[in-house]
């Protein structure tokens, strides 16, 4: 397998029933068959002869000076190839995106339990485990920081002594209008503090990869990643290599959700391959290691004050956010910045004072996770909106409609909204739905010991990288020498279906069915740089590039065919599946014939697209701008949760869920619905059961028997409606759909629970225990029985 | 690499156990393999009981039913005779784990694991189940509450296996109830659970009652105090609430990663109130 030829990895779909690829049609996902039959080769499926297993010795302590590593017994274990430490790294030994502060292998101190201390290479898994257990780290324990507010206090232990701002990774401050002073002009003010928990990505496929060093010095790394092109640079810098000698190959990840937005196994694998004597190397974290070392959704502490005029017009917002970013900048500053931008929800609020801190702690690493900071603040702002509605005696839908941004309005950070905006349509559709109209009947027909409530939430989600970091994609489409259309995807498809959508886009433009299409998954040597699979940007950015490339190729094919047929011009020609037809005569030339009249250089078309950025200067600091504020493209949504609470146990059960979303035009309804349904399921887990228990930096829930993600029986029937407002800058009018649905479930469920019980639980997840405690301490249980 | 033996007869089993005294027996493996992976156990070799016909299925022996230890939960809950006579056990086994776990896991494994959270255990307690222990020289029967000694501990000597459980068929209960409180609807370990069988008169008075709680003590908890408080009474919230006060002394819940002790205490009593759903005279 050492001679495995990756260049052959073009997926063709000719063995499946060929299907027309129309925009807007529910074309079955072209990756589905291979995946459900187990044929798809994931990063974890690479082995090969003479394989070396690589594994990591983890710190196991949250904060301690590393005085020494004793691996003298470990190297004596039969089957051990090498034990590597930071001393074996010749590069910067640092990784990260903005602040590169994470060591590949610790050289000074451990900053969280999952820190990598040593890398062991072994002939087999058994020896590897034995050797890892025998490595002894000499640690001098340090006091730790386990809470973000505490981390900012004077005298707190420092996670990075070299950081000029102490434990502050980033502080963001935004003031619009008269800021906090505006509270005096309000008739009503509500105030609350919310605490949201860390969330585990819980992908089916844990972090995995495979690497080898070729004789010509090229380092090939196959890995489960969202960011192949960024990985290449990070690996090269950390290991001191020329980036052009690093090749990252990215099969479909088995789920990622943000947890593979950056380096996991890549650099470690690269380092291992540099020391394995040319043998291929494999690393595959088990679930516990994935929990301990992987990133989490930032836990957040959020203080909110929201003020309005007596008629419900929002007037003032004061927010303080504390985001626990753990020990490293795994996009923590960017997450905080997105949270600040969305802190006021999708509403017009003329006066705002928004302050936020991303704080270093010795907890697990906070990082990217579907929703990316927006999920946390949406939970807060949508609950204070309900509290405000209650105080004003106003219908919660009407309060939201009254303040909903429309195109041309300003968001709470003062950014003028220029993209298509279907928020009003979402809210109106929701208010006309039976689940809302008949909510009172449904609530009053609860059975014994049950109380029912209906809650709603609205949300928006910015997409793309913001004003500074270029959000670009380069698409490449090829007419292959046997007449097929091959699409080179530069953006990873981590399961959301964009690879299939890319074929649909190219196929529809080039008039081809699935049987004529081929696919190349991201590979830094074969596909073109197109940014990360993140930020609801994949199909928006890459799709726009792909349209350009496909149109170019189409013109070239039609022109060449027109020349051959001596037609008056390409307008007389049409691409049909497998052929080009001369419309006036009906004569056809198959693509496999036509291609013979192409030179190789003509068979490939490429196109670059860079997403538009905000044109207005809203006066935020360059640092905050660099971290992505403001965005210019937003998706919108409104959702409803119908919840039944058991008075005896406190358990909240979501009986029905409705999501109405504006993600622009829908290219493939099936894939669209999968994104919405998946986002809701993940959001419901966040709302009700997913609770990462961390005690002094140590995760106590390191597997799925104690970290409780929803099962099929925990996810209710979902109604999902697309409000398809055409977005002029999007490919075929589309906007991003990857994240928006995750934001609504927690606040909608919390509002429904408050509606059912008359009490609010301010800390998520809303476990039965928390609800029952709140209910009991409210003294209402007695009176109800 | 461990050796796995798959005896087909009891004779073969005894021979294997004699040859390999340090092996662990298992049926579905849904508890054992979790412990081996965690490093809690490291048996030299394994002996699988799945293929022993003597340990399989439900036999009707006149007044009694015998459920073989290696009967899976999914087989158990569809067995006609079990559905007819032991409804509370069906209710309990139906919420154990998830379909794949019920296909693999067995009643014998659930008993020998002796977890305070084991779902079939409260049901087996209220039905006064007896377990049959076998060894190469013979067998014996003992009540389940004597067999289970503590969390994870049963009265089983080396060379002995659990052959199955014996249950009386006609117990006269006309109300069978099982409730499990977990962190989600399926594949959830019980935070607290309660099995109840009652005989109600036509007018809804409690004639007899047996109740048992899981996950609120080292083993399944029963309380004569609660049962006595119900007997002779008409089921009502008042009566159930009052009976719940008797529970305080009986249970000793712990705090763990799944829930706090106070919560367990609260819901143990609260679950009793659910029986009021049956008060309207219809029986289940
Ligand atoms: C994901 C998951 C979810 C689960 N959910 C639940 C749940 O909701 N409720 C619940 O109660 N349990 C649950 N369990 C635990 C387990 O599935 C049950 O306890 C099951 O009944 C065990 O049966 P088994 O045959 O698989 O046991 P095994 O693993 O085969 O054996 C368990 C123990 O019993 C011993 N043993 C088994 N059979 C015999 C015998 N005949 N004689 C002597 N010793 C024997 C073994 O040596 C071992 O020590 C779950 C387990 C998993 C992995």
pLDDT in tens, A119-148: 999 999 999 999 999 999 999 999 999 999
Taking residues B119-134, report their average pLDDT: 98
What is the distance in A from the centroid of ligand 1 to the CA of B49? 12
The reported pLDDT for the residue numbered A783 is 46
Atom of ligand 1 nearest to the CA of B24: 47
What is the distance in A from the centroid of ligand 1 to the CA of A705? 14
Atom of ligand 1 nearest to the CA of B33: 29
DSSP per-residue letters across A642-675: EEEEETTT--EEEEEEEEEEE-BS-S-HHHHHHH
Q: Which residues is A517 bridged to in the sheet?
A: A485
> Are the C-beta atoms of A523 and A247 separated by less than 8 Å?
yes
The reported pLDDT for the residue numbered A779 is 67
pLDDT in tens, A670-687: 999 999 999 999 999 999
Least Cα separation, residue B33 to chain A (angstroms): 14
State how far the Cα of A404 lies from the Cα of A386, in Å rounded to an integer: 14
Least Cα separation, residue A132 to chain B (angstroms): 15
22-61 in chain B: CB under 8 A from chain A? 34
Least Cα separation, residue B150 to chain A (angstroms): 22
* Local confidence band at A4 (pLDDT 50, 70, 90 cut-offs): very low
Q: Which residues is B234 bridged to in the sheet?
A: B205
* Closest by Cβ to A714, choosing from B181, B185, B277: B185
Question: Do A711 and B257 count as a contact with CB atoms less than 8 A apart?
Answer: no
Taking residues A721-732, report their average pLDDT: 98
pLDDT in tens, A299-329: 999 999 999 999 999 999 999 999 999 999 9
Burial state string for A530-565 with b = 16 or more CB within 10 A and e = fewer than 16: bbbbbbbbbbbbbbbbbbbbbbbbbebbbebbbebb
Average pLDDT, chain A: 96
The strands making up A717-722's β-sheet, listed across from edge to edge, are A450-463, A633-646, A652-662, A717-722
What class, spelled out in words, does domain A11-18+472-610 have in CATH?
alpha beta
* Local confidence band at A11 (pLDDT 50, 70, 90 cut-offs): confident
State how far the Cα of B56 lies from the Cα of B69, in Å rounded to an integer: 7
What class, spelled out in words, does domain A296-466+616-782 have in CATH?
alpha beta
Say if strands B64-68 and A208-213 run parallel, antiparallel, or are unpaired: unpaired
Taking residues A51-58, report their average pLDDT: 98
Question: Do B189 and A773 count as a contact with CB atoms less than 8 A apart?
Answer: no
State how far the Cα of B274 lies from the Cα of B198, in Å rounded to an integer: 13
Taking residues A462-470, report their average pLDDT: 96
* Local confidence band at A403 (pLDDT 50, 70, 90 cut-offs): very high
For residue A578, pLDDT over 60 is answered with: yes
The reported pLDDT for the residue numbered A782 is 46
B217 lines ligand 1 (CB under 6 A): no
Question: Do A711 and B276 count as a contact with CB atoms less than 8 A apart?
Answer: no
For residue A8, pLDDT over 80 is answered with: no
Say if strands A281-284 and A52-58 run parallel, antiparallel, or are unpaired: parallel
B214 lines ligand 1 (CB under 6 A): no
CATH code: domain B3-49+56-168 is 3.30.465.10
Question: What percent of chain A has a predicted confidence (pLDDT) above 90?
Answer: 96
CATH code: domain B175-278 is 3.30.390.50
B49 lines ligand 1 (CB under 6 A): yes
The reported pLDDT for the residue numbered A1 is 38
Question: Do B273 and A705 count as a contact with CB atoms less than 8 A apart?
Answer: no
Question: What percent of chain B has a predicted confidence (pLDDT) above 70?
Answer: 98
Least Cα separation, residue B100 to chain A (angstroms): 13
The reported pLDDT for the residue numbered A616 is 87
What class, spelled out in words, does domain A45-142+207-284 have in CATH?
alpha beta
For residue B151, pLDDT over 90 is answered with: yes
pLDDT in tens, A729-751: 999 999 999 999 999 999 999 99
What is the distance in A from the centroid of ligand 1 to the CA of B258? 19
- Chain A residue numbers with beta carbons less than 8 Å from the beta carbon of B259 are 769
DSSP, res A44:
G
The neighbour count for residue B141, using CB atoms within 10 Å, is: 12
Fold agreement (A11-18+472-610, A296-466+616-782): yes
- Chain B residue numbers with beta carbons less than 8 Å from the beta carbon of A124 are none
pLDDT in tens, A647-658: 999 999 999 999
The neighbour count for residue B215, using CB atoms within 10 Å, is: 31
> What is the pTM assigned to this prediction?
0.97
Taking residues A719-737, report their average pLDDT: 98
State how far the Cα of A344 lies from the Cα of A348, in Å rounded to an integer: 8
DSSP, res A538:
I
Taking residues A3-30, report their average pLDDT: 80
Q: Which residues of A touch B (CB under 8 A)?
A: 448-449, 648-651, 653, 689, 693, 700-701, 705-706, 708, 710-714, 767-769, 772-773, 776, 785
For residue A5, pLDDT over 60 is answered with: no
pLDDT in tens, B48-62: 999 999 999 999 999
B118 lines ligand 1 (CB under 6 A): yes
Beta strands in A429-530 (DSSP E): 450-463, 472-479, 485-488, 517-520
Question: Do B184 and A768 count as a contact with CB atoms less than 8 A apart?
Answer: no
For residue B1, pLDDT over 80 is answered with: no
Q: Which residue from B24, B91, B97, B180 has its CB within 8 A of the most atoms of ligand 1, so it is best to mutate? A: B97
Least Cα separation, residue B271 to chain A (angstroms): 7
Beta strands in A472-552 (DSSP E): 472-479, 485-488, 517-520
State how far the Cα of A400 lies from the Cα of A419, in Å rounded to an integer: 19
> Are the C-beta atoms of B147 and A676 separated by less than 8 Å?
no
Taking residues A584-591, report their average pLDDT: 98
B92 lines ligand 1 (CB under 6 A): no
State how far the Cα of A200 lies from the Cα of A690, in Å rounded to an integer: 8
Kindly report the protein residue whose alpha carbon is nearest to atom 3 of ligand 1: B97
Q: Measure the CA angle with vertex A174, ends A172 and A180; round to 5°.
A: 125
For residue A784, pLDDT over 70 is answered with: no
Taking residues A692-704, report their average pLDDT: 97
The residues of chain B that CATH labels 3.30.465.10 are 3-49+56-168
Least Cα separation, residue A682 to chain B (angstroms): 14
Closest alpha carbon within chain A to B257: A706
For residue A695, pLDDT over 90 is answered with: yes
64-123 in chain B: CB under 8 A from chain A? 98
B268 lines ligand 1 (CB under 6 A): no
> What are the structural domain ranges in chain A?
11-18+472-610, 45-142+207-284, 296-466+616-782
For residue A204, pLDDT over 70 is answered with: yes
B36 lines ligand 1 (CB under 6 A): no
The reported pLDDT for the residue numbered B280 is 67
State how far the Cα of A269 lies from the Cα of B200, in Å rounded to an integer: 68
- Chain B residue numbers with beta carbons less than 8 Å from the beta carbon of A712 are 186
């Amino acid at each position: 397998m050492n001679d495995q030829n990756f260049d052959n990895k073009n997926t063709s779909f000719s063995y499946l029933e060929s299907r027309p690829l129309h925009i807007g049609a529910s074309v079955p996902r072209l990756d589905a068959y291979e995946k459900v039959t187990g044929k798809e080769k994931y990063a974890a499926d690479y082995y090969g002869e003479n394989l070396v297993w690589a594994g990591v010795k983890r710190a196991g302590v949250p904060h301690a000076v590393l005085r020494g590593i004793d691996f003298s017994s470990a190297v004596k274990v039969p089957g051990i190839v090498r034990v590597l430490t930071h001393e074996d790294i010749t590069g910067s030994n640092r990784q990260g995106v903005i602040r590169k502060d994470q060591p590949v292998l610790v050289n000074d101190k451990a900053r969280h339990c999952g820190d990598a201390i040593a890398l062991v290479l072994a002939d087999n898994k058994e020896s590897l485990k034995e050797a890892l257990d025998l490595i002894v780290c000499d640690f001098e324990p340090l006091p730790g920081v386990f809470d973000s507010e505490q981390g900012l206090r004077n005298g707190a232990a420092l996670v990075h002594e070299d950081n000029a701002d102490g434990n502050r990774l980033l502080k963001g401050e935004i003031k619009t209008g008269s800021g906090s002073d505006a509270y005096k002009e309000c008739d009503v003010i509500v105030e609350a503090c919310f605490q949201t928990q860390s969330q585990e990505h819980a992908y089916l496929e844990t972090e995995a990869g495979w690497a080898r060093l070729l004789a010509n010095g090229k380092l090939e790394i196959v890995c489960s990643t969202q960011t192949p092109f960024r990985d290449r640079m990070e690996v090269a810098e950390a290991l001191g290599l020329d980036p052009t000698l690093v090749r990252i190959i990215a099969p479909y990840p088995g789920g990622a959700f943000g947890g593979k937005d950056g380096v996991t196994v890549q650099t470690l694998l690269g380092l291992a391959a540099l020391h394995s004597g040319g043998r291929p190397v494999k690393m595959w974290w088990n679930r516990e290691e994935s929990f301990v070392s992987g990133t989490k959704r930032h836990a957040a502490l959020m203080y909110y004050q929201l003020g309005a005029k007596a008629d419900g017009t929002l007037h003032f917002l004061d927010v303080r956010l504390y985001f626990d970013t753990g020990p490293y900048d795994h996009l923590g500053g960017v997450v905080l910045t997105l949270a600040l931008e969305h802190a006021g929800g999708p509403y017009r609020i003329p006066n705002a004072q928004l302050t936020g801190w991303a704080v270093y702690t010795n907890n697990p690493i906070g990082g990217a996770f579907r929703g990316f900071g927006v999920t946390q603040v949406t939970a807060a702002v949508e609950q204070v909106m309900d509290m405000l509605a209650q105080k004003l005696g106003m219908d919660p839908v009407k309060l939201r409609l009254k303040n909903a941004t429309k195109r041309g309005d300003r968001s709470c950070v003062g950014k003028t909204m220029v993209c298509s905006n279907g928020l009003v349509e979402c809210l109106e559709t929701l208010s006309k739905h039976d689940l809302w109209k008949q909510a009172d009947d449904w609530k009053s027909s609860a059975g014994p010991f049950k109380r029912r409530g209906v809650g709603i939430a609205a949300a928006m989600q910015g997409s793309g990288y913001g004003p500074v970091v270029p959000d670009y994609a380069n698409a490449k489409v090829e007419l292959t020498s046997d007449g097929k259309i091959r699409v080179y995807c530069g953006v990873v498809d981590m399961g959301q279906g964009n690879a299939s959508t890319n074929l649909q886009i190219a196929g529809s433009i080039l008039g081809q069915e699935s049987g004529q299409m081929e696919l190349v998954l991201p590979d830094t040597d074969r596909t073109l740089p197109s940014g990360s699979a993140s930020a609801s940007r994949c199909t928006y950015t890459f799709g726009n590039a792909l349209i350009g490339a496909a149109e170019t190729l189409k013109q070239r094919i039609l022109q060449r065919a027109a020349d051959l047929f001596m037609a008056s011009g390409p307008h007389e020609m049409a691409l049909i599946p497998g052929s080009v037809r001369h419309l006036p005569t009906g004569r056809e030339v198959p693509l496999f014939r036509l291609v013979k009249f192409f030179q190789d250089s003509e068979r490939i078309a490429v196109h670059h697209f860079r997403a538009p950025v905000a044109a207005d200067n809203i006066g935020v600091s360059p640092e905050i701008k660099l971290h992505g504020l403001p965005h210019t493209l937003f998706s919108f949504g409104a959702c409803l949760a119908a919840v039944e609470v058991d008075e005896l146990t406190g358990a909240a059960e979501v009986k029905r869920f409705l999501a109405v979303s504006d993600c622009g035009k829908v290219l493939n309804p099936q894939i669209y619905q999968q994104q919405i349904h998946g986002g809701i399921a993940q959001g419901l887990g966040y709302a009700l059961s997913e609770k990462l228990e961390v005690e002094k930096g140590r995760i106590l829930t390191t597997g799925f028997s104690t970290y409780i993600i929803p099962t099929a029986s925990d996810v209710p029937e979902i109604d999902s409606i697309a409000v398809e407002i055409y977005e002029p800058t999007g490919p075929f009018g589309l906007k991003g759909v990857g994240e928006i649905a995750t934001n609504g479930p927690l606040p909608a469920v919390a509002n429904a629970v408050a509606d059912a019980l008359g009490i609010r639980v301010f800390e998520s997840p809303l476990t039965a225990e928390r609800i029952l405690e709140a209910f009991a301490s409210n003294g209402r249980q007695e009176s109800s029985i | 690499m461990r050796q796995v033996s798959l005896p087909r007869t009891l004779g073969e089993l005894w021979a294997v156990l004699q040859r390999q005294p340090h092996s662990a027996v298992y049926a579905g493996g849904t508890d054992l393999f979790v412990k081996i992976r965690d490093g809690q156990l490291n048996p030299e070799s394994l002996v699988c009981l799945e293929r022993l016909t003597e340990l399989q299925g439900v036999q009707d022996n006149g007044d009694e039913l015998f459920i073989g230890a290696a009967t899976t939960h999914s087989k158990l809950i569809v067995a006609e005779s079990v559905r007819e006579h032991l409804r509370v056990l069906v209710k309990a086994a139906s919420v154990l784990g998830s379909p794949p776990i019920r296909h693999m896991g067995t009643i014998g494994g659930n008993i020998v694991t002796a977890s305070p959270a084991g779902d079939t255990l409260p049901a087996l307690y209220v039905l006064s189940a007896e377990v049959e222990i076998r060894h190469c020289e013979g067998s014996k029967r003992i009540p389940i509450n004597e067999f289970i000694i503590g969390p994870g501990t049963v009265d089983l000597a080396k060379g002995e296996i659990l052959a199955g459980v014996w249950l009386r068929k006609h117990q006269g209960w006309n109300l069978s109830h099982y409730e499990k409180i977990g962190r989600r609807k399926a594949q959830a370990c019980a935070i607290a659970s309660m099995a109840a069988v009652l005989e109600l008169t036509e007018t809804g008075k409690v004639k007899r009652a047996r109740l048992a709680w899981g996950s609120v003590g080292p083993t399944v908890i029963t309380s004569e105090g609660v049962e006595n408080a119900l007997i002779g009474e008409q089921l009502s919230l008042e009566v159930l609430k009052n009976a719940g006060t008797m529970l305080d002394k009986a249970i000793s819940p712990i705090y763990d990663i799944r829930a706090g002790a106070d919560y367990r205490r609260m819901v143990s009593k609260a679950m009793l109130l659910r029986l009021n759903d049956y008060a309207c005279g219809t029986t289940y």
